[in-house]
Amino acid sequence: MKLGMAAALALLSLTACGKPQPAPAPAVATPADLQAHSNEFRRAVIEAAPGVWVAVGFGIANSILIEGEDGAIVVDTMESVESAKAVAAEFAKVSDKPVKAIVYTHSHPDHIGGASAFIPAGATVPIYAQEDVARNMDKISSELQPIITQRSLRMYGWGLSPDELLNVGIGGALDIHEGSTVNILRPTKTFRDTLDDTVAGIHFQLVHAPGETEDQIYLWLPERRILLPGDNLYHAFPNLYTIRGTGFRDPKKWAASLDRMRALRPAVLVPSHTRPLAGEQAIYDTLTDYRDAIRYVHDQTIRLMNIGLLPDEIAERIKLPAHLAAAPFLQEFYGKPGWSAKSLYGGNLGWFDGRPEQLHPLPPRQQAERLQALAGGAESMDAAISAAAAKADWQWVLELSGAALRLRPEAATVKEARLAALKALGEAESNPNARHWYLVAWHELRGDYPLPSRAVTPTPEMLANMPLSTFFDGMAVNLDAEAAGERITTVRFEFTDAGESWTYIVRRGASEIIPPGEAAPAADLVVRVPAQVFKEMLAKLRNPGLTIAREFEMSSGNKLAFIAFMRLFVPLEAETAS
């Protein structure tokens, strides 16, 4: 039967009238809201359930103690030995049972840095982790350590005063200071998908649950319905992308992991950041909102990508529905939907946004030169910056001053305008990651302090347990290809205490590393040295010149040639972009 025109119009009219109106958007968070959020991290050891204790506020992350019949399990071990010792002392006040096992929920440094503090000297306990944790923590410590360190220090507010640093969104503050040490114990009991075990009478299940990291797990106490979700949930919108830098975090996997946790219907939730939560329905609703927010950002970003919007255009349009934006666990005190959208674009389509002008864009300096010329020269450019500053158009001040200072780093009026912009944007920002980046950049531009390329010092014990492959991987990413030029040099390292021989070839700016047991060409230089000495030298616990002179023995070739070879691997000084 055909629908008459009048009836069709009436139906359309009824449909339009009955269309639900969107809920009003919640108020945007303010710095005062961020200050109030600090209450989440007031220092305490909380008994989340009988015999389950969580230390909150001792650093960025939590450490969790599960007490058993004749011992205990510690889940996550803080960012440094010093912060871990403070937590271990508090745990000793609530339980005198020895730690029988340690569990890492994932490979991020703030969860693994202080493991040795929980174990008596000379004791050995199993260290549980997903099978990729060791590989991922080695990559951070060897290949990406300088850049991740500096970006992390900006994001977490290194050197900021208490007035500037209110909290870091998922913790009170980064407990890393000059002289801080790390002593990461390597995993000894690993698994791929699931592991079911009992330690000290505690029956637990470990489940691979990709989310904030690919190696993330959750710990489930099935008889007690207690869930430790790791970093797949905290009291803030998740870092689907973190501005300190990360590999692609797949939101679909993250949401699926939360669905697995929802299905458990936990009665107690003990995250590795922020305070615990109790009550089956409250936990279920919180997990549901969290997964819905993640899927919303994923699905809507892909939808807008498919109609041709660019990353920044999508980031501007992605806003959570009002009921999610108002949810307590989804306030933008850590991640942001817009940042997440841009990461999703790159993770699915890569760096090229489809505009032909982006295939071979002008380098930043040439862009700055042409922008300055378009403005009418340096004086006109400076006048435009001053005019934008007078109108408090701070983002435009940042963009213009960035170009101007690239050409004229000592331009005083431009520098002052940029400082004003960084300060104003930082003080107005309620997201701590963005707030800290602005304010640390302000201090850097003023020359108040340089950011170190390494924030913590590894212990010799930690280095001893790290594989030699990690150190050679670190050398490879520091090879100065320009200095190497057309050189082809083969060096064999014979490690007297490890009984291993490694061959390193520099071939016209490229590295080839040949591990023990594989065929290697004849070496131009052969050196003999204890592996521990070699590791401590590369980790900067020893002076390179003195160490090579005193500890390295040449079996073939001369020491001056070897010194020249090692100079190819001196790390560059970091360049800032304030």
How crowded is residue 237: how many other Cβ atoms within 10 Å of its Cβ? 27
Please name which of 239, 257, 469, 269 lies closest in space to residue 343, comparing C-alpha atoms. Answer: 239
Name the band, by pLDDT with cuts 50, 70 and 90, for residue 16: very low
How crowded is residue 247: how many other Cβ atoms within 10 Å of its Cβ? 11
Cα–Cα distances in angstroms (integers) from residue 534 to residues 184, 365, 418, 468, 472, in the given order: 19, 40, 44, 9, 11
In whole angstroms, give the CA distance from residue 331 to residue 538. 42
Q: What pLDDT sits at residue 453?
A: 81
**Beta strand extents in 89-247 (DSSP E only):** 99-103, 127-130, 181-182, 189-191, 194-199, 202-208, 217-221, 226-228
Q: What is the DSSP letter of 454?
A: -
Q: What pLDDT sits at residue 349?
A: 96
Work out the average pLDDT over 299-320.
97
Name the band, by pLDDT with cuts 50, 70 and 90, for residue 143: confident
Nearby residues of 185 by Cβ (< 8 Å), 6 or more positions away: 102, 112, 115, 116, 119, 127, 462, 465
Helix or strand holding residue 79 (H, E): none
Q: Could you tell me if residue 260 is inside a domain?
A: yes
> Is residue 578 over pLDDT 50?
no
Please name which of 356, 351, 317 lies closest in space to residue 337, comparing C-alpha atoms. Answer: 317
Work out the average pLDDT over 481-485.
96
Q: Could you tell me if residue 274 is inside a domain?
A: yes
Say if residue 105 is in the same domain as residue 175.
yes
Say if residue 343 is in the same domain as residue 369.
no
Name the band, by pLDDT with cuts 50, 70 and 90, for residue 23: low
Query: What share of the chain in percent tops pLDDT 90?
Result: 88
Q: What pLDDT sits at residue 27?
A: 66
Q: Is 273 helix (H, G, I), strand (E, B) or coil?
A: coil
In whole angstroms, give the CA distance from residue 471 to residue 455. 18
137: its two tokens: 């923590």
> Is residue 12 over pLDDT 50?
no
Say if residue 313 is in the same domain as residue 388.
no
Contacts for 412-419: CB closer than 8 Å, 24+ residues apart: 413/382, 413/385, 413/386, 414/382, 414/385, 415/445, 417/385, 417/386, 417/388, 417/389, 418/445, 418/578, 419/445, 419/446
Say if residue 283 is in the same domain as residue 432.
no
Q: Could you tell me if residue 526 is inside a domain?
A: yes
Say if residue 435 is in the same domain as residue 488.
no
Partners of 500 in the β-ladder: 495
Q: Could you tell me if residue 276 is inside a domain?
A: yes
Name the band, by pLDDT with cuts 50, 70 and 90, for residue 569: very high
> Is residue 9 over pLDDT 50?
no
In whole angstroms, give the CA distance from residue 386 to residue 534. 54
In whole angstroms, give the CA distance from residue 84 to residue 551. 34
Q: What is the DSSP letter of 329?
A: G
Say if residue 234 is in the same domain as residue 373.
no
- Where a domain ends, among 295, 319, 349? 349
User: In this structure, what CATH number is given to the domain that contains residue 560?
Assistant: 3.30.1050.10
- In degrees and rounded to multiples of 5, residue 382 shows phi and psi of -65, -40
How crowded is residue 145: how many other Cβ atoms within 10 Å of its Cβ? 19
pLDDT tens digits for 375-432?
A: 999 999 999 999 999 999 999 999 999 999 999 999 999 999 999 999 999 999 999 9
Say if residue 160 is in the same domain as residue 304.
yes
When comparing pLDDT for 577 and 167, which is higher? 167
Say if residue 335 is in the same domain as residue 390.
no
Contact 53, 46 (CB under 8 A): yes
Please name which of 89, 71, 78 lies closest in space to residue 56, comparing C-alpha atoms. Answer: 78
Say if residue 336 is in the same domain as residue 410.
no
Q: What is the DSSP letter of 76?
A: -
In whole angstroms, give the CA distance from residue 108 to residue 112. 7
Say if residue 241 is in the same domain as residue 319.
yes
Name the band, by pLDDT with cuts 50, 70 and 90, for residue 1: very low
- In degrees and rounded to multiples of 5, residue 556 shows phi and psi of -155, 135
> 552-562 burial by CB neighbour count: b if 16+ within 10 A, else e?
beeeebeeeeb
In whole angstroms, give the CA distance from residue 217 to residue 554. 47
Residue 201 CA to its chain's centroid (Å): 35
Q: Look up the domain containing 555 and give its range.
A: 467-569
Q: Is 411 helix (H, G, I), strand (E, B) or coil?
A: coil
Q: Could you tell me if residue 550 is inside a domain?
A: yes
User: In this structure, what CATH number is given to the domain that contains residue 153?
Assistant: 3.60.15.30
Contact 176, 78 (CB under 8 A): no
Helix or strand holding residue 294 (H, E): helix 280-306
Q: What pLDDT sits at residue 21?
A: 53
Say if residue 149 is in the same domain as residue 126.
yes
Q: Could you tell me if residue 15 is inside a domain?
A: no
In whole angstroms, give the CA distance from residue 260 to residue 268. 15
317: its two tokens: 């349009």
Q: What pLDDT sits at residue 146?
A: 87
Name the band, by pLDDT with cuts 50, 70 and 90, for residue 26: low
Please name which of 247, 262, 171 lies closest in space to residue 209, comparing C-alpha atoms. Answer: 262
Considering its fold, how many domains does the chain have in total? 3
User: In this structure, what CATH number is given to the domain that contains residue 440?
Assistant: 1.25.40.880
Say if residue 156 is in the same domain as residue 123.
yes
Residue labelled with tokens 């927010």: 293
